[in-house]
Chains A and B, each alone.
Chain A
């Protein structure tokens, strides 16, 4: 069974530029998550989708971050414009459903903003 796929793996941009990350969840998983992990910290949930609807985006900085999950499968996370403090690893995860289902994580995208 293929795992959660993410691209790119690494990205370096200058502040005020824009960037987009892509995630393809495990086949059949209805729930998709984007996390931000700053160096030395645990991951923090940015947004959670159930199929193509948003369940929780309470910690998403909506003035610069956006995410979509068209057709309820793969998803993109965009940052525009980027700030220095956005330097982090962005992790995508998926699960069969909400509640007690296990979450499976992708390899992450390491973003460096200079």
Chain B
């Protein structure tokens, strides 16, 4: 059974810092891995999708990497801003049951 873990559970940084969020998963047989952002009371916004054959994806100040063999992904946020404050969720889609399995998220607070 696929399990996804995110560390840390919460993170507080001053504006301008570069930061890394971590995601690990137990079964490397995956189609892809997605990073989502969730604002309080809102739905999920997809940030980056990494297919299993890819090593990383970039969008603006965000860079996500995938090491399938070790079951790990990182989301790097450069030059953080207060508007980046949200919960960040990692999810993997495994090839067995073909459903997204989510971690519990990292709650990020960027202070001005």
Contact = CB atoms under 8 A, between A and B. Distances in A.
A22 B18 CA distance: 40
Interface residues of A, number: 24
A42 B103 contact: yes
Tell me if B's interface is mostly helix, strand, loop or mixed.
strand
Interface string B30-48: 0110101000011111100
Given A107-B43, A108-B42, A100 B52 contact: yes
B100 interface: yes
Given A41-B104, A42-B4, A42-B89, A100 B32 contact: yes
Contacts of A41: 104
A41 B102 CA distance: 9
B49 A102 contact: yes
Nearest to B41: A110
30 contacts: A33-B100, A41-B104, A42-B89, A42-B103, A43-B89, A43-B102, A44-B102, A45-B100, A48-B99, A55-B98, A56-B97, A56-B98, A56-B99, A91-B43, A91-B44, A98-B98, A100-B32, A102-B32, A102-B34, A102-B49, A103-B34, A103-B46, A105-B36, A105-B45, A105-B46, A106-B43, A107-B42, A107-B43, A108-B42, A110-B41
